[in-house]
Amino acid sequence: MPIRQFTIVGVGLIGGSFSLALRKQGFTGRIVGCDRPAVLDRALVRGAIDEGFAHPFEATRGSQVIVLATPVLGIIDLIHRLGPALPQKTLLTDVGSTKGEVLNQAKAVFGKNAGTRFLAGHPMAGKEQSGIEFADADLFQQAAWFVTPVRGQKLYEGLSGEFLDWVDRIGARIASLDAAEHDRLCAWISHLPQMISTALAATLVDEYGQEAPLLEAGGRALREMTRTASSPYSMWRDIALTNKKHLQDAISKLEQRLAHIRENLDSRELAMEFERARELRKAPKN
């Protein structure tokens, strides 16, 4: 049976962009939002949702697919609260940036039915800005959309398959991997870069103050490296808490590399580090 209604819990950048993308790609059913009243008003004005509710139990009524698009700890709490009350044929999915603890909660709530009741997902898309004001129907074009299935889950059957068909239609590239490997990978390719940007920007503020014309003088490299430093702490707090082990490991290894560079600024070792780094860009593109 085709999906007739989506509920998006958390109509911010990702949730709002997903709603707008669905509309752009021809979804003709209803899209219901769940968020604070002021956010819902802005989402209605933008055409991202047809109706909005502040209470998730009201918002999810009648939906075949519910997308949890809050920070990660909110997703875990919503699975706990919403899961037991949802109809058996409703699919619950999420867009959280870490997957291990999310999937553990889903298995605890749905038990042996987790593979048909829940789909763990993570679109690798975003901006340094947050909120429905910055939502973009094209945000997911050519972005990876990770899914981390439970053992034996048939991703492309039933509502799960239909949902992933919409993910494909909005331009994302679906990739399936184990939850633990997802969290380790994202610690390196997403979470560590954010912490580098935050640390660099904070250090520059300490060194030169808030008003120094650093971005203009530093050029493109500095702008790119500090762009995500304005990302919201509320989202990254939850990511750090739920992926602490992998992120600590990545930060520790980077610290060791920086220490090695610091101690070899006047030696051939520095040239070797540059040569090693250039190998990343030489990797074959898929």
Return the CATH number of 5-177, one of 3.40.50.720, 3.90.1520.10, 3.20.20.240, 3.40.50.150: 3.40.50.720
Beta bridge partners of 94: 68
Percent of the chain with pLDDT over 90: 85
Strand order in the sheet with 30-34: 51-53, 30-34, 5-9, 65-68, 91-94, 118-119
Q: According to the model, what pLDDT value does residue 190 have?
A: 96
* pLDDT tens digits, one per residue of 94-149: 999 999 999 999 999 999 999 999 999 999 998 777 889 999 999 999 999 999 99
Using DSSP, state whether 93 is helix, strand or coil. strand
pTM of the model: 0.91
What is the pLDDT averaged over residues 205-209? 89
Domain 182-282 sits in CATH at: 1.10.3660.10
Q: Where are the domains of the chain?
A: 5-177, 182-282
Residues in the chain: 286
What is the pLDDT averaged over residues 4-13? 97
What is the pLDDT averaged over residues 189-210? 93
* pLDDT tens digits, one per residue of 152-187: 999 999 999 999 999 999 999 999 999 999 999 999
What is the pLDDT averaged over residues 261-278? 96
With 0-12 / 13-18 / 19 or more C-beta atoms within 10 angstroms meaning exposed / middle / buried, residue 247 is buried
* pLDDT tens digits, one per residue of 53-96: 999 999 999 999 999 999 999 999 999 999 999 999 999 999 99
DSSP assignment of 149-176 equals PPTT--TTSHHHHHHHHHHHHTT-EEEE
Cβ-based neighbour number of residue 63 at 10 Å: 23
The amino acid at residue 143 is: A
- Distance from C-alpha of 250 to C-alpha of 229, rounded to nearest angstrom: 18
* Per-residue buried b or exposed e for 173-210, using 16+ beta carbons within 10 Å of the residue's own CB: bbeeeebeebbbebbeebbbebbbbbeebeebeeeeee
* pLDDT tens digits, one per residue of 11-59: 999 999 999 999 999 999 999 999 999 999 999 999 999 999 999 999 9
Tokens of 31: 């899209």
What is the pLDDT averaged over residues 225-243? 92
Q: According to the model, what pLDDT value does residue 284 have?
A: 62
Using DSSP, state whether 213 is helix, strand or coil. coil
Q: According to the model, what pLDDT value does residue 278 have?
A: 93
Using DSSP, state whether 189 is helix, strand or coil. helix
What is the pLDDT averaged over residues 256-275? 97
Contacts of 57 (CB under 8 A, 6+ apart): 82, 85
pLDDT class of 285 with cuts at 50, 70, 90: low
* Per-residue buried b or exposed e for 128-155, using 16+ beta carbons within 10 Å of the residue's own CB: eebebeebebebbeeeebbbbbbeebee
